[in-house]
Chain A
């Protein structure tokens, strides 16, 4: 793989179900991010990780959890999905160690919670 990938591409989920969105990058970037994008709103940061083994809360963390066991993977888990979590989810990564400013985005996961 090259770059950053996400799975699944799309998912329809019943409310109350648990769901994990997967994100993998092969660029050895130290920082990774999860955003949600809703119509009429800017991208909103859910959680982030500046390096493997550490995570932090973003602007809208409630109802979501993340882990960063290694450099490449940064899964996002919805413990008990609710309809307000219907959104497009983007994973991104960046290499802040080299002064890199650009965030690279995955293709997104379109999640519908019914």
Chain B
């Protein structure tokens, strides 16, 4: 089945550690996105990539890093510089159709910093 796979679903880390969240899609989509969601809040855009080997900062990029070496993959690293990393992280992709393309979301990764 085509879709977006995020892993791990749940992740615990100690303060000061970097952690990488995986996002893979087999939809042949050009654009990929990372969002963060805190309890009771909407989604906030961290980073997005419209094409391989290119990505842009979203609204809350500080403390995060990404790479886009392959079309299918867009991993997110939560670094120790992120002051409050405990959150629900969502990855999405869409065709590069400008303003009409639909976003498809993964099931999310829930990160807890102990």
A interacts with B: no
- A residues with a Cβ closer than 8 A to B are none
